[in-house]
Amino acid sequence: MSRSPAGGEPMKLRVLMSTCAVAVALGGPLRADAGTPAPLVLVLDASGSMWGQVKGEAKIVGARRVVGELAAGLEDARPIALVAYGHRREADCADIETVAPLAPLDRPALQRTVDRLNPKGKTPITAAVEHALGLAPPGATVVVVTDGLETCGGDPCATVRAARQRGAEFVLHVVGLDVGAEDVSSLECAAQAGGGLYLPAADSGELAAALETVVTLPPALPTSALVIEARRNGELQDVSVTIEPLSGGRALGARTYARPETNPRTIPLAAGGYRVKARAVGIDGAPEQTFEIAIAEGDRVERMLDYSTGELTIGATRNGALSDVTWQVFAPGDRRRPVATGRTYRAPTSNPDRTTLPAGDYEVVLHALEIGGRPTADLGRVHVAADTPAALRHDFASGELVIGVVRGGTLVDATVVVRADRASVDAGRTYRSATSNPLRFTLAPGVYEVEVGEIGGGKRRLAVTVEAGRTVERTVDFDQPTP
């Protein structure tokens, strides 16, 4: 049975990391030693998809301009190499080339080289990273710019991890240009394995900011870090993480995904205090855990976040028969906004209804759709455990009230209003048809006042008592005097 988590976020979720926030979280505007700039190996995507448009401009056009602007701000003596892929042949996973060998920066030559790149082919990220690492001297910064995921069957994360295990000294950053809502865990994993950052860039402006950030960071990021592992019922859980410096400044974001390559997720942070918000992706209500941490220089703070869920079933009957009700689940003591909602209908395939919720305590309220006034039933608090399903059942009692309106032996067109404690509970119109006169009302047991108004004529009032499982019939004859 489908249901909507109230206020739930769309499952299309993209974690944005502000490049300004990266500088804050890593301890301010960190830069490599001006006297010894780290060698830079830039890997640029020139696959066919780089002709795609972002804000009316082809991505390759924006990338050419951004690389030129980046070079204008680099140190004159900084060694730089440029690797491109997908620029010579279509459908060729071996189309990887060092288009500018590692050498002191030559800005005009670099710009000419980038301007000649003509996107055509595939996206062999893994092989391109391996190629770039072969060029990178010890202490180099490797930056990969891609607008998509691997299309040649490789595993960039495994390649980077293996290079590190062999003792290669480098830091690797990845910038995802217009990657959108794709699962970028393979790219984030590669950056994490390379001791670097993954930065999303929606357009050429964000690409410029991301590249400026990573090329000016020190060759090694802070050794202090927050390590987050998230699980649900023993399995890895995808979580969106937001980290806010307590000292002020913009937040940075990360994501664990449900893959061992990025979960646990290691997030480099400078020493200091932070507020962390971790919101589960793909669970009704998007449950969020919030906590604060203090990180000392060189320290690693590890957090295991449990988002285990359990099943809650909600069944409803009326006088013992399956009944159509809507239900709402609330956090204890907070009725402002439900964490989950649903409807049972009357079919055994949907009644009882089922929902999956994070383990914990909840309050459940039912609304009877088949009874006049739609009475509610507050079922109170229920505990949902990860290992034991919880079940709630409620039976609504009701009776039938039948009101006929005539004048002599002729059916009369009239309005009928049913009130309880002066509040309207139900209403209808008889018309002069035997299909609607008499009118039938399904009501909760109780005492009611019924007002019958002849169209264009007078009114009559009568009191009736409705009992559970019983039918009470009344006929109002406007030819007869008021009792």
Q: What angle do CA 267, 292, 309 make, to 5 degrees?
A: 80
Phi-psi region of 110 (alpha: psi -120 to 50; beta: other; left: phi over 0): alpha
pLDDT of residue 17: 41
273's enclosing H/E stretch is strand 272-280
Helices (H) and strands (E) in the chain, counts: 7, 32
CA-to-CA dists, residue 348 to 270, 322, 369, 397, 402, angstroms? 57, 8, 17, 19, 29
Look at the chain and count its residues: 483
Amino acid occupying residue 269 = L
Per-residue pLDDT of the chain (483 residues; tens, 9 = 90+): 444 444 443 333 333 344 444 544 554 433 444 457 899 999 999 999 999 999 999 999 999 999 999 999 999 889 999 999 999 999 999 999 999 999 999 999 999 999 999 999 999 999 999 999 999 999 999 999 999 999 999 999 999 999 999 999 999 999 999 997 677 889 999 998 998 889 889 999 999 999 998 898 877 677 799 999 999 999 999 999 999 999 987 677 888 989 898 899 998 888 999 999 999 988 877 889 999 999 999 999 999 999 999 999 999 999 999 999 999 999 999 999 998 999 999 999 999 999 989 899 999 999 999 999 999 999 999 999 997 899 999 999 999 999 999 998 899 999 999 999 999 999 999 999 999 999 999 999 999 999 999 999 999 999 999 999 999 999 999 998 876
pLDDT of residue 77: 85
Per the structure block, which two tokens stand in for 354? 């089922």
Radius of gyration for the chain, computed over Cα atoms and rounded to the nearest angstrom: 34
Q: Which residue has the tokens 């383990």?
A: 359
Q: List the domains of the chain with CATH numbers.
A: 19-305 (3.40.50.410), 309-396 (2.60.40.10), 399-477 (2.60.40.10)
Distance separating alpha carbons of residues 266 and 189, to the nearest angstrom: 10
pLDDT of residue 10: 34
Distance separating alpha carbons of residues 346 and 370, to the nearest angstrom: 10
Positive or negative torsion for Cα 19, 196, 266, 245: negative
pLDDT of residue 102: 97
pLDDT of residue 35: 52
Contact assessment for residue 245 and residue 24, using Cβ atoms and an 8 Å cutoff: yes
